[in-house]
Structures are given as structure tokens and as C-alpha cells.
Amino acid sequence: MRYPIQALVLVLLLTGFVQASQRPRKTRIYKTREFQKILTPKPTMTDADEELVNKSKENETYFPDTRAAEFRFRKDFADRLPCMFKEEPAERPSYIPESTLIRGTECKVEFDTGHGGYGSTSDSEWHPYNPLNDPAVLPALMKQEAYVVESDFFDVQLIEQGRQPISILVIVVCIILTSSPRLKPGDSSVTGRCTDCKTVRV
């Protein structure tokens, strides 16, 4: 073989690339430091939104996804948004709407003395109201308390670090193969034979 070293390097590179590409996705574990996060403010973002984001970071209520934000908000406000009262409040709490959806049907939210709180009746069944479980009310309450979800204000792009695309691999292989000088037939450095030696007869 004319290029044994270059051929060996090529085989090793291609073998490693194929093995990496054939690993099941479920077994791949990526650390956060391997990703570069690029945040682009959405066109609809206002100065007030920017102030809200900064406030949430100061309060440590800035979250990367909706699930984490809602979980934290429900935990922090579980006892701060009561809907059960011994007597009807003189003023209706601002976090309790006039109506809510139950199984796709809009129902009035009213105070019921017998149940000791606000709720709705649907199909002769009483449903206690809870703003933490109302998808129409929860986002507004979270925004009011500066619980911010990153994707609500930014377009998020993750760029994986430390992994080279196949195009770079091909370029590296080509450089290796073309950087070494071509060897001519009869070159003493390869054949081990002396081209300038004279035959001596005994």
C-alpha cells in the first residue's frame, strides 16, 4: 500500500464517526456546558417586558420553561390565593373570575355558603374554584408576580458544542492525504533498495 499511515488514520476517523452516529439517541447524555444558548428578543417585546424580565431575575423567578415556572408558582402561592371562606367576602377577590371552563363549558363562578367558598355547578356537581388550576387565569397571575418563562419573551436557540460535522471530518482527511509528498517508484526511502549502488561480482 502506497500510503499506509494515511489509510490507517482515515479508517480510525471514519470508524469513530460511524460509531458515534449509530448510538441510540436515548443513551446520549449532554451537559449544559456543551450547549451555547442564543436568546433573541421577540419583536413584540416592550420596555415594560424587559423590566419584568430583569425583575424576575432579581427575584429568582425566571424559568427556562413553563412547567418549572408553574410548579414553583403553585408551590409559593398555594396558601396565598384562598377561595374558601366562612362568609362571603365584602369584596370579590381579584384573582377569582366571573366564569371558568369546565369540560369545555363556560360556568359561572359564585360563592356558595353551603360549600364555604367559590365554585361552579356543572351537571348538578359542585366544582370548587382554584385559580392555580385555571389555565385562563394562571398566566396573568404569574406575570403579575413576575414569574417569567424565558420562551415567552425570547426566541431560544441551542447550539451544540464540541461535535464536528461530517464536512469538517472530510476536510481533515483530505488534508492528511494531500499534505504528504507523492513517492516515486524506486525511491530508496520506501523500497529500502539502493538505486545508486553498483553490482560487484565476486
Residue (of 84, 80, 93, 146) closest to 113 by Cα position: 84
Domain tally, the chain: 1
In a domain, 174, yes or no: yes
Residue (of 99, 91, 87) closest to 131 by Cα position: 99
Boundaries of domain holding 22: 1-30+164-202
In a domain, 186, yes or no: yes
pLDDT value at residue 36: 82
SS in 3 state form for 105-124? EEEECEEECCCCEEEEEECC
What number of other Cβ atoms are within 10 A of residue 68's Cβ?
13
Tell me the range of 24-28, 30-34, 158-162 where mean pLDDT is highest. 158-162
In a domain, 187, yes or no: yes
Q: What integer is the mean pLDDT of 6-29? A: 51
What number of other Cβ atoms are within 10 A of residue 96's Cβ?
22
What number of other Cβ atoms are within 10 A of residue 49's Cβ?
16
Torsion over CA: 37, 38, 43, 48 (sign): positive
Confidence band, pLDDT 50/70/90 cuts, at residue 26: very low
Considering only residues 37 and 182, tell me which one the structure prediction assigns the higher pLDDT.
37
In a domain, 153, yes or no: no
In a domain, 88, yes or no: no
**Is it the case that residue 24 has pLDDT exceeding 50?**
no
